[in-house]
């Protein structure tokens, strides 16, 4: 692996960004650049790899809600906290596919399905596989988030044609134990390795506003960027404090710090989709615009994200018109000519 002392400069063009080995000190220097310099650098990197005015539109559906055995302090679906959310059974396949059709008609190109599990049980795998195959048949990219996966489960989902698997690391390894005790940071990385080894693309990011420090945010991104292959998709969430949860009274994250984290993610993982995920209902249009300028190029559309509120399509469409943005087609993203040359 290459050392980041040479390759942290965005101007370096002869280095494969997926082979860079980042360290905390170099990443922190970039994070702490004057804000205008940081955004200019992030936007420059972004333009080298993506159409700066195209945004990937994804839809997220909760296919099994509540009753999760994990004690994630931010989550409304944990059985450990009195959040008032009732557990449900796994949705029927046809109902999931009906929702996917609606999402496609609404402009979504990726369909993400999430289940509140520690890990899927064998009895549920047949239905999960059918969902993946059905959504792919609609011409959409598929993504699942089902908790921890074994190598065998990962291989089975890969055989079904799953495009992406989401499994966030949530925060830094140092801070992780303050938020979750029922699953270790190493468990998270093991699932990511199982998914990657099966040939599925990785979607992994984290949450800001849980009481972590700037160093924790930077460390989280260093962990992700230093995976054998960086995640193809990096969701950055802003905490939505859930009444009854451990983090119900968490202080909001500073908007400028949030934008700095988006910019650093773009610089460190230039070929990844950086997704502006949960928390957009509490972001001003101006804050979202800064995030897009800093390199965010993916959002979730629809009224809800699993159990949390999300801006509706009308609001997103109006914001896109104001900013001159357009939905990214399935084949969009990396510059085709550049990829062909590589």
Out of 41, 59, 260, 275, pick the active-site residue.
Answer: 275
112 is catalytic: yes
Catalytic residue among 41, 112, 260, 291: 112
- Side-chain-facing half-sphere of 260: CA atoms under 13 Å: 20
Question: 41, 68, 156, 183: which one is catalytic?
Answer: 68
Of 41, 143, 217, 266, the catalytic one is 143
Number of other CB atoms surrounding residue 60 within 10 Å: 25
| Sign of torsion over alpha carbons 230, 300, 239, 257 | positive
- 118 among known catalytic residues: no
Residue among 41, 110, 188, 203 flagged as catalytic: 203
Catalytic residue among 59, 72, 183, 280: 72
64, 129, 206, 191: CA torsion to nearest 10? 120
Active site residue 291: no
Distance CA 188, CA 203 (A): 12
Tokens at 168, concatenated: 């966030």
Helices (H) and strands (E) in the chain, counts: 13, 14
Specify whether 68 is catalytic.
yes
Q: Assign residue 170 a region (left: φ > 0; alpha: ψ between -120 and 50; beta: otherwise).
A: left
* 287: its two tokens: 């804050």
Give the residue numbers annotated as catalytic, written as ranges: 68, 72, 75, 112, 143, 203, 275
């Amino acid at each position: 692996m290459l050392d980041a002392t040479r390759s942290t400069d965005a101007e370096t063009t002869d280095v494969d960004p997926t082979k860079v080995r980042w360290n905390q000190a170099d990443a922190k220097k970039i994070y702490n650049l004057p804000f205008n310099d940081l955004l200019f650098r992030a936007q420059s990197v972004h333009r080298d790899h993506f159409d700066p005015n195209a945004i990937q539109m994804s839809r997220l559906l909760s296919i099994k809600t509540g009753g999760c055995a994990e004690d994630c302090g931010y989550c409304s679906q944990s059985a450990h906290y009195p959040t008032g959310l009732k557990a449900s059974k796994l949705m029927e396949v046809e109902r999931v596919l009906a929702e996917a059709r609606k999402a496609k008609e609404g402009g979504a190109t990726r369909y993400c399905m999430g289940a509140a599990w520690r890990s899927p049980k064998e009895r549920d795998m047949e239905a999960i596989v059918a969902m993946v195959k059905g959504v792919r048949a609609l011409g959409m990219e598929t993504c699942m988030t089902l908790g921890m996966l074994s190598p065998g489960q990962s291989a089975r989902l890969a055989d079904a044609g799953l495009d992406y698997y989401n499994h966030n690391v949530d925060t830094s390894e140092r801070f992780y134990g303050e938020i979750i005790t029922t699953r270790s940071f190493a468990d998270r990385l093991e699932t990511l390795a199982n998914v990657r080894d099966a040939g599925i693309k990785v979607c992994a990011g984290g949450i800001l506003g849980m009481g972590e420090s700037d160093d924790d945010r930077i460390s989280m991104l260093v962990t992700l960027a230093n995976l054998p292959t960086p995640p193809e998709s990096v969701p950055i969430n802003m905490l939505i404090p859930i009444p009854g949860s451990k983090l119900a009274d968490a202080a909001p994250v500073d908007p400028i710090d949030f934008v700095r984290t988006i910019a650093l993610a773009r610089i460190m993982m230039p070929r990844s989709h950086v997704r502006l995920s949960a928390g957009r209902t509490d972001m001003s249009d101006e804050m979202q615009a800064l995030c897009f300028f800093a390199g965010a190029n993916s959002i979730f559309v629809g009224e809800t994200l699993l159990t949390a509120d999300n801006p509706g399509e009308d609001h997103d469409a109006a914001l896109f018109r104001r900013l001159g943005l357009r939905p990214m087609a399935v084949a969009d993203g990396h510059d085709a000519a550049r990829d062909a040359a590589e």
